[in-house]
């Protein structure tokens, strides 16, 4: 086993993922914990890495995500776009805790106004995993609760926009009559494809399209079980239609889970837009490794 060199922490609102890495960024061990929305960050972090400390000594740590927000461990101000990788590293908050050097990554803000926290680490990771993306202009889409559409120019985060796609779907799924008693979302279903087609033909005016999920069931045109897939098709379709209109063309690089990549990949294909997929967890880890190299080497 190679020698442990640092701890990388992907600490979002609802989840903490910790990686014990060697100097090259290879993962030697991993553990998980509660998200940044829960307090007591210093104690919880110490407890989560205590076994590693005992075995390997106290190692430096690089942490990204909501851990750097007002609800997190430390409030690290947003860095303004355009933001180059070295500027993101430079704006990290470095401090010492119980003899450990810790760096918490800043979030980014742009003129929208819009903000992100954690996704900038994934962007850095995507550029590390695929260095060709660090040259020229590229569009990234990071689907999720708050989906981010990000334009990167020669490695710098130029601009971005947040879509409420994941949260909107979950709220409507849980609380509205639109997809009551529906089955799960099926990306291969005719209902998902119909949702995409409806937005493509009628425009991305979701407010006036969403009730169609209910009306189609009530009028017997759609099975109850298909309503969630249709609703997902509408929302993912509107997200992609808006995202590519704002981005102005080109391949879209998805950074997310395989399940979301399937939904967004289908929607992008529906618009004839090429895409690649970068795993979200792998991108976050690669970004933290990149930041460690810039901050502690």
Interface residues with its own copies (CB under 8 A) are 78, 109, 112-115, 146, 149, 161-165, 167-168, 171-172, 175-176, 178, 204-208, 210-212, 214-216, 218-219, 221, 235, 238-239, 242-243, 246
Cα separation, 76 vs 73, in Å, equals 9
When the beta carbons of 41 and 109 are compared against its own copies, the nearer one is: 109
When the beta carbons of 146 and 200 are compared against its own copies, the nearer one is: 146
Among residues 46, 33, 36, which one has the least CA distance to residue 67?
A: 36
Whether the ω angle into residue 82 lies within 30 degrees of 0, i.e. cis, is yes
Cα separation, 288 vs 137, in Å, equals 23
Structure tokens at 118: 């954690």
- Long-range CB pairs of 263-268, under 8 A, 24+ apart, other chains included: 263/143, 263/185, 263/187, 263/192, 263/232, 263/236, 264/141, 264/143, 264/236, 264/239, 264/240, 266/187, 266/192, 266/193, 266/196, 266/236, 267/196, 267/233, 267/236, 267/237, 267/239, 267/240, 268/240, 268/244
When the beta carbons of 148 and 275 are compared against its own copies, the nearer one is: 148
Give the shortest CB-163-to-its own copies separation in angstroms: 5
Give the shortest CB-121-to-its own copies separation in angstroms: 18
> DSSP letters of 122-133?
HHHHHHHH-GGG
Give the shortest CB-140-to-its own copies separation in angstroms: 15
Cα separation, 15 vs 139, in Å, equals 26
When the beta carbons of 128 and 173 are compared against its own copies, the nearer one is: 173
Structure tokens at 141: 């889409």
When the beta carbons of 55 and 181 are compared against its own copies, the nearer one is: 181
Among residues 129, 169, 167, 145, which one has the least CA distance to residue 253?
A: 129
Give the shortest CB-81-to-its own copies separation in angstroms: 12
Give the shortest CB-61-to-its own copies separation in angstroms: 25
Give the shortest CB-72-to-its own copies separation in angstroms: 13
When the beta carbons of 150 and 288 are compared against its own copies, the nearer one is: 150
Q: How many residues does the chain have?
A: 297
What are the residues facing 62 on neighbouring strands? 8, 103
Among residues 243, 156, 241, 151, which one has the least CA distance to residue 202?
A: 241
When the beta carbons of 238 and 252 are compared against its own copies, the nearer one is: 238
When the beta carbons of 113 and 131 are compared against its own copies, the nearer one is: 113
Give the shortest CB-205-to-its own copies separation in angstroms: 5
**β-pairing verdict for 108-110 and 79-80:** parallel
Give the shortest CB-247-to-its own copies separation in angstroms: 11
């Amino acid at each position: 086993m190679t020698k442990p060199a640092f701890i990388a922490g992907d600490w979002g609102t609802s989840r903490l993922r910790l990686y014990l890495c060697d100097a090259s960024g290879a993962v030697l061990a991993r553990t998980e914990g509660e998200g940044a929305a829960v307090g007591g960050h210093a104690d919880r972090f110490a407890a989560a890495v205590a076994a590693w400390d005992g075995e390997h000594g106290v190692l430096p740590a690089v942490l990204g995500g909501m851990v750097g927000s007002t609800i997190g461990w430390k409030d690290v101000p947003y860095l303004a776009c355009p933001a180059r990788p070295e500027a993101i590293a430079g704006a990290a908050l470095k401090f010492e805790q119980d003899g450990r050097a810790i760096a918490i990554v800043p979030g980014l803000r742009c003129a929208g106004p819009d903000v992100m926290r954690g996704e900038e680490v994934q962007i850095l990771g995507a550029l590390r995993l695929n260095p060709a993306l660090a040259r020229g202009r590229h569009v990234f889409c990071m689907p999720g609760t708050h989906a981010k559409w990000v334009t990167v120019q020669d490695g710098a985060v130029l601009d971005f926009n947040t879509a409420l796609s994941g949260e909107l779907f979950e709220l409507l799924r849980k609380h509205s009559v639109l997809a009551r008693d529906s089955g799960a979302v099926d990306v291969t279903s005719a209902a998902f494809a119909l949702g995409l087609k409806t937005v493509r033909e009628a425009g991305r005016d979701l407010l006036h399209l969403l009730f169609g999920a209910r009306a189609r069931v009530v009028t017997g045109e759609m099975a109850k079980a298909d309503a969630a897939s249709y609703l997902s098709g509408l929302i993912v379709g509107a997200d992609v239609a808006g995202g590519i209109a704002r981005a102005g063309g080109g391949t879209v690089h998805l950074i997310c889970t395989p399940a979301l990549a399937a939904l967004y990949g289908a929607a992008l294909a529906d618009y004839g837009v090429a895409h690649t997929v970068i795993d979200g967890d792998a991108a976050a880890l690669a970004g933290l490794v990149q930041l460690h190299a810039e901050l502690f080497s």
